[in-house]
């Protein structure tokens, strides 16, 4: 049996089997009941990679990546095999092994329904309506988030360039079946590439418009020619900010007509030239300052388990502050800069809710992210099966606020919630807490966000993201650093086998010291080098981390600190006489880390 399995899974056999039709596949599945699906898929991927190496990379709009080579009829074969399986893990892996072209091949023969059924565990959702796929997206992503399956197991094997090409056709209104209709299958790499392409397109249009040249664009085709405003110069937008007044000085952005023009930031009294690093640091400092403003309050004040998470304070704060925060979030997404935010995770769901025109579903899970005790109480009400509902709960259609009772419906403070109206009450309560209560502040925040991440009247990049993915793209991965993974991903410049022993020992000492730091200091050192304390959504390799040997004499206790260029994520590492001296220099650099990099 093992010999048969090895023969069946060899690339040569697969090349024939995938084109043999369902009857042959049925005979194989029945005759060899323990067909090793994982081994089969590995062979398919191996065959793809062998074919991939024989052709040049595909390019589009300045992006070039090696494109996966589709295998003829593999999409159809995968769908057919999926219909014969019941193991969820195998179904996920089988569906994820499709490339973009193979996915379309499967869809064109009616295979999308079968694949969707596989991902939703054999038929939880079977509608072929594209709108129903949005519900599937939330359901599958929610199942993954709850620990059912890792979200990445739902991703189709992709290449970023093909994802951009698919998206470009889809967003223009293509009616052909597109993988963009099934966004849970697009990997983070594909989604980040799509956002980069959107930013590239919008920025090119804005640059040309700023110079007075019309540039037809699917993003801003209807807008009149832009006249450069205050702070703009030709094709760039320059702002000068003082670190101690970063919010006030950044308010100039509220009056800018087009925030897609390349943005250059200068810190007052500093010589650093902004080629990306200064802007990255400015966004981080600005978001931190705005989170410390009167706009937000720590949820831990009322619910200790939420300590450290922020939400709208409800105070009478100028809408400009909230709009500026939205602009900062939009710019972070536009430039793909990670900012360590402390706002409640429900904010990302609400950004998508606004982007979808208020149609995205909100529920008790979202309320629980903001007010866990209230969410738990509502769940208890909804699940109550006993008698005398009104006497048991004594809940009216109203909520208590610092300013008094607020009725959820006319006369709500005098009207009891009943077993028959409990579901409607829960829905109204969720809407009040998440939408009505933050009110003008939330609307202003989204208005600022939408000025950068321009919503489309039809399809847009926001349709592809879940709340968790949006949070990861904005904030990076909230996890302890894997220093070994960082070292494996880093490029070491100026080191070789012929380097002096102390030079090689020095770089080993550096990694040892980084691994030995406390968690907060580990993240601070990452921020010192890259401008962000977190790993990007795409992982350590997306950092482009570089450790650059500084040629020169061995340094002692009184000599210079290591310096960094945050725009290139480079640490310039001199050679020190001992590990102890290097550690002292690193710790001193962290104390003075703000503004210490070269940009």
| Domain finish residue from 153, 186, 219 | 186
Q: Round to whole Å and give the CA distance between 508 and 488.
A: 13
Supply the residues annotated as catalytic.
567
Is residue 388 predicted with pLDDT exceeding 90? no
Q: Is residue 139 part of a domain?
A: yes
pLDDT tens digits along 6-47: 444 444 454 455 455 555 555 555 544 455 666 666 766 666
Average pLDDT for 451-467: 82
* Residue 203 contacts residue 62 (beta carbons within 8 Å): no
How would residue 468 be classed by pLDDT, with cut points 50, 70 and 90? confident
Q: Are strands 546-549 and 404-407 parallel, antiparallel or unpaired?
A: unpaired
pLDDT at 256: 86
In percent, how much of the chain has pLDDT > 70? 66
pLDDT at 156: 58
* Residue 38 contacts residue 93 (beta carbons within 8 Å): yes
Phi, psi dihedral angles at 208 (to 5 degrees) = -70, -40
Neighbours of 38 (CB within 10 A): 13
Q: Round to whole Å and give the CA distance between 556 and 223.
A: 60
Is residue 598 predicted with pLDDT exceeding 50? no
How would residue 347 be classed by pLDDT, with cut points 50, 70 and 90? very high
Asked if residue 342 and residue 468 are part of one domain, the reply reads yes
Is residue 592 predicted with pLDDT exceeding 70? yes
How would residue 305 be classed by pLDDT, with cut points 50, 70 and 90? confident
Asked if residue 272 and residue 231 are part of one domain, the reply reads yes
Average pLDDT for 397-413: 91
* Residue 237 contacts residue 335 (beta carbons within 8 Å): no
pLDDT at 555: 75
Asked if residue 459 and residue 524 are part of one domain, the reply reads no
Phi, psi dihedral angles at 27 (to 5 degrees) = -60, -40
Spell out where 128-282 has E strands. 232-233, 236-241, 263-267
Q: Round to whole Å and give the CA distance between 445 and 325.
A: 6
Q: Are strands 263-267 and 236-241 parallel, antiparallel or unpaired?
A: parallel
| Domain finish residue from 140, 159, 186 | 186
pLDDT at 47: 66
Instruction: Say what the alpha-carbon torsion angle 63, 69, 72, 76 is, to the nearest 10 degrees.
Output: -70
* Residue 199 contacts residue 334 (beta carbons within 8 Å): yes
Of the listed ranges 137-151, 194-208, 328-342, the least confidently predicted one is 137-151
pLDDT at 404: 87
Alpha helices, DSSP H only, in 53-129?
A: 74-82, 88-96, 100-108, 111-119
Q: Round to whole Å and give the CA distance between 46 and 484.
A: 27
pLDDT tens digits along 348-368: 999 999 988 887 788 999 999
Choose from 7-11, 253-257, 392-396, 594-598 the range with maximum mean pLDDT: 392-396
Q: Round to whole Å and give the CA distance between 188 and 186.
A: 7
The whole domain housing 94 covers 2-186
pLDDT at 203: 86
Q: Is residue 427 part of a domain?
A: no
Average pLDDT for 89-116: 55
With residue 202 as reference, give the H or E element that holds it.
helix 188-210
Q: Which two tokens stand for residue 275?
A: 């080629």
- Look at the chain and report how many structural domains it folds into: 3
Asked if residue 237 and residue 144 are part of one domain, the reply reads no
pLDDT at 131: 52
* Residue 35 contacts residue 8 (beta carbons within 8 Å): yes
Q: Residue 561: CB partners within 8 Å, gap ≥ 6?
A: 585, 588, 589, 596
Average pLDDT for 164-179: 80
Give me the CATH number covering residue 490.
Answer: 3.30.2410.10
Q: Round to whole Å and give the CA distance between 125 and 117.
A: 6
pLDDT at 3: 37
Q: Is residue 426 part of a domain?
A: no
Q: Is residue 401 part of a domain?
A: no
Q: Is residue 408 part of a domain?
A: no
Asked if residue 234 and residue 167 are part of one domain, the reply reads no
Asked if residue 469 and residue 491 are part of one domain, the reply reads no
Asked if residue 276 and residue 224 are part of one domain, the reply reads yes
Neighbours of 535 (CB within 10 A): 26
Is residue 118 predicted with pLDDT exceeding 90? no
Asked if residue 101 and residue 229 are part of one domain, the reply reads no
396 CA to centre of own chain: 39
Asked if residue 465 and residue 321 are part of one domain, the reply reads yes
Of the listed ranges 361-365, 477-481, 486-490, the least confidently predicted one is 477-481
Select the more confidently predicted residue: 7 or 583.
Answer: 583
Is residue 281 predicted with pLDDT exceeding 80? yes
Q: Residue 128: CB partners within 8 Å, gap ≥ 6?
A: 112, 113
In percent, how much of the chain has pLDDT > 90? 34
Mean pLDDT of the chain: 77
How would residue 379 be classed by pLDDT, with cut points 50, 70 and 90? very high
Task: Supply the DSSP string of 530-569, one letter for each residue.
Answer: HS-SSB-TT-GGGG--EEEE--SSPB-TTSPPPEEETTTT
Q: Round to whole Å and give the CA distance between 175 and 162.
A: 17
pLDDT at 93: 63
Asked if residue 208 and residue 117 are part of one domain, the reply reads no
Is residue 477 predicted with pLDDT exceeding 90? no
pLDDT tens digits along 136-170: 455 555 545 555 545 555 565 556 667 888 888 88
Asked if residue 272 and residue 176 are part of one domain, the reply reads no
Instruction: Say what the alpha-carbon torsion angle 24, 30, 32, 33 is, to the nearest 10 degrees.
Output: 140
Span between the terminal Cα atoms of the chain, in Å: 61
Q: Round to whole Å and give the CA distance between 239 and 248.
A: 12
How would residue 396 be classed by pLDDT, with cut points 50, 70 and 90? very high
pLDDT at 166: 82
Residue 254: how many CA atoms within 13 Å on its side-chain side? Answer: 15
Name beta bridge partners: 425.
none
Q: Which two tokens stand for residue 197?
A: 């392409």
Asked if residue 163 and residue 107 are part of one domain, the reply reads yes
pLDDT at 421: 93
Give me the CATH number covering residue 254.
Answer: 3.90.1750.10
Average pLDDT for 389-395: 91
Residue 260: how many CA atoms within 13 Å on its side-chain side? Answer: 23
Is residue 110 predicted with pLDDT exceeding 90? no
Is residue 460 predicted with pLDDT exceeding 70? yes
pLDDT at 446: 95
pLDDT at 483: 94
pLDDT at 157: 54
Alpha helices, DSSP H only, in 32-83?
A: 37-52, 74-82
Phi, psi dihedral angles at 593 (to 5 degrees) = -70, -35
Q: Is residue 414 part of a domain?
A: no
Select the more confidently predicted residue: 223 or 329.
Answer: 329
Q: Is residue 501 part of a domain?
A: yes
Q: Is residue 500 part of a domain?
A: yes
How would residue 96 be classed by pLDDT, with cut points 50, 70 and 90? low
Closest CA to 418 of 448, 398, 397: 397
Neighbours of 178 (CB within 10 A): 19
């Amino acid at each position: 049996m093992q010999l048969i399995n090895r023969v069946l899974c060899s690339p040569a056999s697969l090349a024939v089997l995938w084109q043999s039709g369902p009857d042959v596949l049925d005979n194989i599945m029945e005759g060899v009941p323990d067909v090793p699906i994982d081994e089969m898929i590995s062979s398919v991927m191996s065959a793809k990679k062998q074919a991939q190496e024989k052709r040049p990379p595909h390019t589009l709009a300045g992006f070039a990546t090696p494109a996966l080579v589709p295998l003829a009829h593999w999409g159809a074969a995968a769908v057919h095999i999926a219909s014969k399986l019941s193991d969820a893990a195998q179904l996920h892996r089988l569906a994820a092994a499709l490339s973009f072209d193979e996915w379309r091949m499967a869809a064109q023969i009616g295979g999308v329904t079968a694949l969707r059924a596989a991902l939703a565990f054999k038929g939880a959702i079977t509608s072929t309506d594209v709108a129903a796929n949005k519900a599937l997206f939330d359901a599958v992503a929610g199942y993954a988030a709850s620990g059912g399956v890792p979200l990445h197991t739902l991703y189709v094997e992709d290449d970023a360039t093909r994802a951009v090409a698919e998206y470009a056709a889809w967003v223009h209104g293509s009616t052909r079946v597109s993988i963009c209709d099934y966004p849970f299958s697009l990997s983070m790499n594909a989604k980040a590439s799509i956002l980069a392409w959107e930013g590239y397109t919008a920025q090119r249009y804005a640059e040309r418009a700023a110079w007075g040249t019309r540039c037809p664009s699917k993003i801003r085709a209807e807008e009149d020619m832009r006249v450069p405003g205050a702070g703009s110069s030709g094709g760039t937008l320059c702002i000068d900010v003082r670190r101690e007044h970063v919010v006030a000085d950044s308010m100039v952005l509220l009056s800018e007509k087009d925030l897609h023009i390349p943005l250059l930031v200068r810190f007052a009294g500093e010589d650093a030239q902004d080629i990306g690093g200064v802007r990255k640091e400015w966004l981080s400092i600005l978001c931190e300052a705005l989170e410390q403003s009167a706009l937000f309050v720590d949820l831990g004040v009322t619910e200790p388990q939420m300590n450290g998470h922020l939400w709208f304070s409800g105070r009478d704060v100028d809408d400009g502050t909230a709009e500026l925060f939205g602009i900062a979030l939009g710019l972070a997404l536009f430039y793909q800069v990670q900012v360590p935010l402390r706002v409640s995770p429900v904010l990302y769901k609400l950004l998508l809710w606004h982007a979808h025109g208020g149609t995205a579903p909100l529920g008790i899970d979202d309320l629980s992210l903001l007010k866990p005790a209230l969410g738990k109480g509502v769940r208890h009400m909804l699940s109550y099966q006993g008698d005398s509902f009104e006497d048991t709960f004594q809940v009216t259609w109203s909520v208590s606020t610092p300013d008094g009772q607020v009725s959820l419906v006319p006369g709500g403070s005098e009207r009891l919630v009943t077993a028959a109206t409990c579901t409607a009450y829960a829905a109204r309560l969720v809407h009040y807490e998440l939408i009505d209560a933050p009110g003008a502040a939330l609307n202003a925040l989204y208005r600022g966000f939408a000025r950068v991440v321009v919503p489309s009247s039809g399809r847009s990049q926001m349709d592809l993201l879940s709340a968790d993915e949006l949070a990861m793209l904005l904030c990076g991965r909230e996890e302890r650093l894997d220093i070994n993974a960082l070292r494996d991903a880093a490029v070491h410049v100026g080191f070789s086998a012929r380097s002096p022993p102390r030079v090689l020992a020095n770089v080993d000492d550096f990694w040892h010291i980084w691994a030995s730091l406390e968690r907060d200091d580990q993240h601070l050192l990452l921020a010192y080098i890259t401008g962000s304390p977190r790993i990007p959504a795409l992982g350590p390799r997306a950092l482009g981390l570089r450790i650059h040997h500084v040629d020169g004499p061995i340094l002692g206790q009184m000599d210079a600190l290591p310096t960094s260029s945050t725009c290139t994520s480079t640490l310039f590492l001199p050679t020190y006489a001992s590990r102890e001296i290097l550690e002292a220099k690193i710790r001193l650099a962290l104390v003075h880390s703000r503004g210490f990099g070269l940009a």
